[in-house]
Amino acid sequence: MASNPDTSSTSTATRFEAPPLTARTVGITALAWLVPGAGHLLQRRWWRGVLLAVSIVAMFVFGILMQGKVYSPNTGDVLDMLGFLGDLGSGALYLVTKAFGLGHSALEIAAADYGTKFIIVAGLLNIISMVDAYDIAIGKKS
């Protein structure tokens, strides 16, 4: 007769409890979104912060130089809304771009489609970087 499976392992398994939000954690996370790499630099992860900043900023700038489309807030097509959210992930880069009227609102050349993707992905990479900075701030990652 088969024995019952041991259920004690589930009760002893460590459960991750979210740490309380502190002003420092929120500040680091917000700054990590606003300025790419800043979350790591603030926590003295120098080379990681520099590499993240260079990669994300360069990707965004390449996208602008390739005449990529910069999305505005909209309630139209779903892909347009997602494009805006992706762009917004770049934080200050997006805000400055919109403030100075940089970028294009419509694709004028075929290669500009690459630029549009570069700008969106730069924002998404910055969100990943922001989450990583948060993990470091709460001690989940070294």
Partner 1 sequence: MFELSHFSAAVVFAVFASVVFGITQRNTAREMVRYGLYCFVLFVGGVIAAGWVMWLIRR
In the set 62, 80, 81, 107, which binds partner 1 (CB under 8 A)?
A: 62
Report the 10 Å Cβ neighbour count for 137.
21
Give min distance, CB of 67 to partner 1, in A.
6
Helix/strand/coil for 29: helix
Q: What is the DSSP letter of 106?
A: S
Token pair of 58 as six digits: 């360069």
116 binds partner 1 (CB under 8 A): no
Which range of residues in 47-55, 73-81, 85-93, 95-103 is near partner 1 by CB under 8 A? 47-55
E strands present in the chain: none
For 9-48, letters b (16+ CB in 10 Å) and e give eeeeeeeeeeeeeeeeeeebbebbbbbbbbbbbbbebeeb
Site string for partner 1, 7-46 (x = CB under 8 A): ----------------------------------------
Given a contact cutoff of 8 angstroms between Cβ atoms, the answer to whether 132 and 140 are in contact is: no
Give min distance, CB of 9 to partner 1, in A.
25
Rank residues 85 and 131 by Cβ distance to partner 1 and give the closer one: 131
105 binds partner 1 (CB under 8 A): no
Chain residues binding partner 1 by CB under 8 A are: 48, 51-52, 55-56, 58-59, 62, 65-67, 111, 114, 117-118, 121-122, 125, 128-129, 131-132, 141-142
